[in-house]
Amino acid sequence: MSTTRPESIASVRRYSASSLGGLGVAGVVLVVLALLPSLAGESMVNRLTQFFSLLILAVGWNLLAGYGGMVSIGQQAFLGLSSYAVLYLSLHGVLAWWGVPLAILFAGLVSVPISFLAFRLRGSFFAIGTWVIADVCLLVVAQIETLGGGAGASLNDLNGYNPTTVGNVTYWVGLAIVAATLTGCALLLRSRLGLALVSIRDDERAAEATGVNVARTKRIVYVLSAAICAGAGALLILENLEVQPDSTFSVQYSAFMIFMVLVGGIGTFEGPIVGAIIFFALQQWLASYGVWYLIILGAVAVIVTLWLPKGIWGAVDPNNRRSLVPLRHRVLLVQNAEARHEREGNQAP
Amino acid sequence: MTLLRLERVTAHYGHLQALDELSLSLDEGATLAVIGANGAGKSTLLSVVSGELRPSQGRVYFNDEDITKVEPYRRVNLGISLVPEGRHLFSTLTVEENLLVGAASRRRGRWTIDAVYDVFPFIKERRNVRAALLSGGEQQAVAIGRALMSNPALLLLDEVSLGLAPVVVRDLYVALRQVTEGGTTLLLVEQDLTEALNIASQVLCLLEGRVALSGSPQDLDQTQVVNAYFGRHAPPPEATSAS
Amino acid sequence: MMVWINAIIQGLLLGGLYALFSCGLSLMFGVMRFVNLAHGDFAVLSAYVAYVLVEHLGGTPLWTFAIVIPASALVGFMLQRLLLDRALIGGALSPLLVTFGLSILIENLLQQGFGANNESLFVGSLSYDSWKINNSIYLGRLQVIVFVIAVALIAGLQLFLSRSRPGRNMRATADNRRAASLSGVNERRVRATATAIALATVAVGGLFLAMRTSFTPTSGSNDLIFAFEAVIIGGLGNLWGTLLGGLILGVAQTVGSQINPADGILAGHLVFLAILAYRPQGIIASRYSVS
């Protein structure tokens, strides 16, 4: 009798039909968007840039809350710090567009010590704590007269260029940040870190028991989320060409982020994208009605949380089967493994 | 008369079936001991009677009234009180405050705070001590006393002896006998078979959510109980009794 | 020197007001582990209601207490029963998101209805009457009244919790929810009562704040932050701790203002962050942990 090592009867597949399709579509969309400035007018380009900043914020917040389980209402701190960093760099000779990656790096680095403070708190207290920290950033920045103090300042770096060119380059910067953010998140979620994240989300203690370093994982997510929001912040100053502490560090951005992710579907990859599209459409449609869109925002947040907790993407794909991005591990049984066993066994000497 | 009746109750925790079409009938004034191995469904049974778990199928009747869908705190008002496994005292409240909360349902009866102190004299001197600082036996006494303060017609007890020294358990059961002598119906889940069979007028042995054996303690012999407990059928013919 | 003593005294008086804002937050968290992010906005809402009442019916704003406080309690009760109870069963993120949405809703409805202007409740001479201690120290009459009422309310609340039957049931629910329900306590009513008390006390704070200074639709955010900071500084789970936290925060802000007029709020934030860094359980170490 021979002892045959049992053949593997299962294989793990990372791709599925829907996710390959999704990737294909994404590729096409990316190409189209890249070529857009030569196809469409200035107003369309500017509007899409605005949409990009919203999308980036939604993805960043979803990473922290939906995957990391940490609800923050203070991500605007990093948005603001990044905007002001671009301003600061431009005042010291760094052209605004080159300032973008540096500003993101700066905000990401600042988020590390901040995380040590913030992580002293949990749940609702963590949320308010992040808000306080954002408020502190606001108040401190408002003291810096060289950056405009309480009244704010303009970004004058790009005044020498043709406005249309500025608009287009800003658009491409935005597109690049969007692409980098989405790709980065997808890769992160595909990796071991992503698996650790999801395990923490499901059951923190069990995750700890299987060797996941919960504190470190959460910190990494916090910093990445900060960097993503910083990306949006850098884009925003390029769009608006001015900053002012109260509006740049406004908690309203958190309101937007929460709305987009809740409505789109928290904790899914596609959710923030859907949410950003819906929010952007809502914002455009209700632009002339003053603060009504915010009132609707608040009401929808309440309604969605209570009655539609998985958001729209969650309603479309409740069990997360039809993922448009290859994030999952799927275990498949190999057919005829047993038959093969027998055959080989019979052939033994 | 019949105080409690379960009719073909099936209960689930998620997908796990814990009770399988269980029926039982409990007369007023009786003391029913429910025994069985871990996972047999004993605590589930208590949860269904106390209202913490709603059955997926079947009905629960109390005083001929269908209480299947009644919430736990309302059942206390009706006269059902549970002493949960692990005591679950209000650790930041004193002994006396714990007992007073037990009277939240405002049911009148012989169980006043003084009556409770009479049955458990050793907690009276600790009346102003925070519950967290009590010993295991004292905590169990307070837990039972708290349940008594609602003057229940049916007192449910979940693993009263858990984690306690035999001497302490004996004292608790002496007190419980006083409770039954007052006319209160008892339904207790117990791992300590000796005490359980001693106090009970009826015994129910559960296995995998079903009744494996029922009867009064004097009618059942030890072999029957052990077989039912472990799910063993009648021993094969060649096995001679070793006792 | 006197200037600093005056700053401290003013800070203590201010702290009483902050304690009014924070005791409700502390209570709700104790009973339900729930933080209402719209807490401050309800204070502002009460102020606007009082404002409207005075506009239409005249007189001094002081009489509006008789209407606004009971109304706030009722609103709190219904809010918990109809909305927040649902949020509690939805999972960890749910209460946060619901109350944040509520906050946005209230702030912007107020903005839509009243505009973004500063409003105030004018109480005549009470606003500026003061007792003069010496040339540097003045005790504003209104400030002192607020302080006394704040301490009295907290003492009353503490008495309610420790001596009364519903208060005891509330403490029991905060301690062990399951056991409370098994003892016959109506949890829903306990929770709704806690929210009613929270909204009523924060309404008192809101009205007094409106009389002391001014308010806008978005000032609720700051009220929430101050309430939260007071709770953390003082330590959770203890009303006297919350009072102490309020006092410390008040003093931090006024002393900070004395150093640099624009830095008052920042000073408060920095004290809060320092406590967070070095003594996260609060001055009066709490039974509950925030971490």
d(CA A298, CA B109): 52
Distance from CA of B105 to the nearest CA of C (A): 5
pLDDT band for A229, please (50, 70, 90 cuts): very high
Domain assignment present for C273: no
pLDDT at B174: 93
Beta bridge partners of B2: B27
Inter-chain residue contact B81 with C181, CB threshold 8 Å: no
Query: Which one of C86, C97, C106, C114 makes the best mutation probe of the A interface by having the most chain A beta carbons within 10 Å?
Result: C97
Average predicted confidence (pLDDT) for chain C: 90
- Candidates B45, B53, B50, B44; CA nearest to B62 is B50
In terms of pLDDT, which residue wins out, C74 or A122? C74
With contact defined as beta carbons under 8 Å apart, do B113 and C207 qualify? no
φ, ψ at C216 (rounded to 5°): -130, 170
Please tell me the total count of domains within chain C.
1
pLDDT band for C145, please (50, 70, 90 cuts): very high
Residue position matching structure tokens 């073909």? B8
d(CA A119, CA A136): 17
Average of pLDDT values for A189-196?
A: 88
Q: How many Cβ atoms from other residues are within 10 Å of residue C211's Cβ?
A: 23
pLDDT tens profile B157-198: 999 999 899 999 999 999 999 999 988 999 999 888 888 888
pLDDT at C279: 83
Average predicted confidence (pLDDT) for chain B: 89
Average of pLDDT values for B105-127?
A: 92
Per-residue tokens: B52? 């913490």
pLDDT at C4: 87
Residue position matching structure tokens 């039954």? B180
pLDDT at A349: 45
d(CA A145, CA A131): 23
Q: Please state whether beta strands B154-158 and B80-83 pair in parallel, antiparallel, or not at all (unpaired).
A: parallel
**Contact pairs from chain A to chain C, CB under 8 Å:** 130
Which residue type sits at A197? L
pLDDT tens profile A133-154: 999 999 999 999 999 888 899 9
With contact defined as beta carbons under 8 Å apart, do A257 and A55 qualify? no
Secondary structure (3-state) at B24: strand
Inter-chain residue contact C172 with B101, CB threshold 8 Å: yes
A100 touches chain C (CB under 8 A): no
pLDDT at C2: 81
Task: Say yes or no to pLDDT of B9 above 60.
Answer: yes
In terms of pLDDT, which residue wins out, A116 or C289? A116
Q: Where are the domains of chain B?
A: 2-230
pLDDT band for C286, please (50, 70, 90 cuts): low
Reduce the secondary structure of A270-339 to three states and give it as a string.
CHHHHHHHHHHHHHHHCHHHCCHHHHHHHHHHHHHHHHCCCHHHHHHCCCCCCCCCCCCCEEEECCCHHH
d(CA C38, CA C220): 8
In terms of pLDDT, which residue wins out, A300 or A7? A300
Inter-chain residue contact B90 with C171, CB threshold 8 Å: yes
Q: What share of chain C is helix, strand, coil (3-state, %, to 5)?
A: 75, 5, 20
Using CA atoms, how far residue B183 sits from B28, B31, C201, in Å, is 8, 10, 48
Strands, sheet with B2-13, edge to edge from the N-terminal-most edge strand: B16-27, B2-13, B57-62, B65-66
pLDDT band for A348, please (50, 70, 90 cuts): very low
Q: Which helix (H) or strand (E) holds A47?
A: helix A42-62
Per-residue tokens: B146? 């708290």
Task: Say yes or no to pLDDT of B243 above 50.
Answer: no
Minimum-distance CB partner of B72 among C171, C181, C287: C181
pLDDT at A206: 86
A136 touches chain C (CB under 8 A): yes
C274 touches chain A (CB under 8 A): no
Q: C125 lies in which domain range?
A: 2-219
pLDDT band for A110, please (50, 70, 90 cuts): very high
Asked if the A10-338 domain carries CATH number 1.10.3470, the reply is yes
d(CA B77, CA C259): 61
Q: Is the pTM of this model over 0.80?
A: yes
B88 touches chain C (CB under 8 A): yes
Minimum-distance CB partner of C266 among A117, A136, A299: A136
Cα–chain center distance at B202: 13
Task: Say yes or no to pLDDT of B240 above 70.
Answer: no
Q: Where are the domains of chain A?
A: 10-338
Cβ under 8 Å to B: C residues 210-239: none
DSSP assignment of C143-177: HHHHHHHHHHHHHHHHHHHHHSHHHHHHHHHHH-H
| C-alpha neighbours within 13 Å on the C-beta side of residue B183 | 8
Average predicted confidence (pLDDT) for chain A: 86
In terms of pLDDT, which residue wins out, A104 or A319? A104
Task: Say yes or no to pLDDT of C291 above 60.
Answer: no
* Architecture of the domain made up of B2-230: 3-Layer(aba) Sandwich (3.40)
Average of pLDDT values for C110-134?
A: 84
Per-residue tokens: A78? 């990093």
Lowest mean pLDDT among B145-149, B212-216, C48-52, C169-173: B212-216
Interface confidence, given as ipTM, is 0.88
φ, ψ at C215 (rounded to 5°): -140, 155
B155 contacts in chain C (CB < 8 Å): none
Cα–chain center distance at B36: 13
Inter-chain residue contact B73 with C185, CB threshold 8 Å: yes
A122 touches chain C (CB under 8 A): yes
d(CA C195, CA C189): 10
Average of pLDDT values for C166-171?
A: 95
With contact defined as beta carbons under 8 Å apart, do B130 and B93 qualify? yes
pLDDT band for B71, please (50, 70, 90 cuts): very high
B85 contacts in chain C (CB < 8 Å): none
pLDDT at B239: 46
- Candidates A222, A231, A219; CA nearest to A106 is A231
In terms of pLDDT, which residue wins out, C274 or C135? C274
pLDDT tens profile C20-32: 999 999 999 889 8
pLDDT tens profile A239-261: 999 999 999 999 889 989 998 99
Minimum-distance CB partner of C176 among B52, B90, B97: B90
pLDDT at A320: 65
Based on the number of CB atoms within 10 Å of its own CB, is C45 exposed (0-12), middle (13-18) or buried (19 or more)? buried
Residues 6 or more apart in contact with residue C65 via CB below 8 angstroms:
C204, C207
DSSP assignment of A97-124: HHHHHHHHHHHHHHHHHHHHHHTTS-HH
Q: Please state whether beta strands B57-62 and B185-189 pair in parallel, antiparallel, or not at all (unpaired).
A: unpaired
For chains A and B, tell me whether 3 or more CB atom pairs sit within 8 A of each other: no
Domain assignment present for C11: yes
Minimum-distance CB partner of C265 among A131, A139, A255: A139
Task: Say yes or no to pLDDT of B242 above 50.
Answer: no
Inter-chain residue contact C291 with A143, CB threshold 8 Å: no
Lowest mean pLDDT among A27-31, A146-150, A273-277, B9-13: A27-31
Minimum-distance CB partner of C87 among A292, A298, A306: A306
pLDDT at A245: 94
pLDDT band for C138, please (50, 70, 90 cuts): confident
Task: Say yes or no to pLDDT of A346 above 90.
Answer: no
